[in-house]
Amino acid sequence: MKTIIFLLILAGAWYHFYYIGTMPNSGSNTTVDAGPFQSNVAPKKFEFKEVTLTEKASYSVTAKVLSAERYYFDRHSKISTMDVVIGWYNLSDESILDQIEFSQSDRQYQWHAPTQVLSEQEIVSTSSNIHLIPANDEIAQQLKQLKIGQIIYLNGVLVDVDNPLGWHWKTSLKRTDTGKNASEILYLTEFEIVE
C-alpha cells in the first residue's frame, strides 16, 4: 500500500511540474506563413536574477509549438525553466507534422521522420528550439497555459547569459545552425496564445 501511495505522489508531482498538454489534432493544413523577425541591437547589458544578460537582437515570431520541455535542476533553470520547439511555414501544417516526431532532452531538440516528407535543410531552417527567460512573474504564469500544437506569439530580445560563477550561455542568431549551441535564448517580454 505504501508503494502505491508513493507512486501516486510521484505521478502527481511529475504531472504538476513537468506535464505539458497537447492540443487535439484538428487535421488543419493552415500554416503560419512568416518566419521570425529579428533585428540586431546595440549590445546593452543588464542584471537579471544574479546573472548578466547581454542584448544581441530583437526577436518576434508567431509559430506553432512542436514540442516543449520544463527544466528545474540544471544550472540554467534559475532563469529559464522552459524550452519550446516552434515551427513555421510547412512545419506548422498538421498534415506534415503528423509525419515528423519532435523530442527534447538536455536543452536540445531532435526530430525523426520515417519518410522524407521535408528535407533536413527545410526542417532545420523553419524550426527553432528556444530557451525562454520570462521577464516577469506574469509572463511565467502565462507560460503555464502553453500546450503543444498551439499557435503562439513570442516577443523579446535574444540574449547571451553570463554568470558570476564563470559559466556562459550564448544565443544563436542564425536559423540554419545545428547542435548544442544552435538554440535561441529569448528574454521574453510578451507572450500570447494566438490559437
Count of the separate structural domains present in the chain: 1
Would 12 be classed as within a structural domain?
A: no
Mean pLDDT of 23-35: 76
**Residues facing 39 on adjacent strands:** 58
79 lies in some domain: yes
List the domain range (segments joined by +) for residue 118: 22-193
Whether 9 maps to a domain, the answer reads no
In the numeric block, the cell 524550426 is attached to 127
Strand 101-105 with 108-112, pairing: antiparallel
Q: Tell me, yes or no, whether 68 lies in a domain.
A: yes
Its pTM stands at 0.89
Query: What's 33's DSSP letter?
Result: -
Inside any domain, residue 177: yes
Is 132 domain-assigned?
yes
Residue 38 counted as domain residue: yes
The Cβ-side half-sphere exposure at 135, using a 13 Å CA radius, reads 13
Segment 36-48 mean pLDDT = 95
Q: Count Cβ atoms below 10 Å from residue 57 Cβ, excluding itself.
A: 18
Give residue 187's region: left, alpha or beta (phi > 0; psi -120 to 50). beta
User: What are the tens digits of pLDDT across the range 125-178?
Assistant: 999 999 999 999 999 999 999 999 999 999 999 999 999 888 899 999 999 998
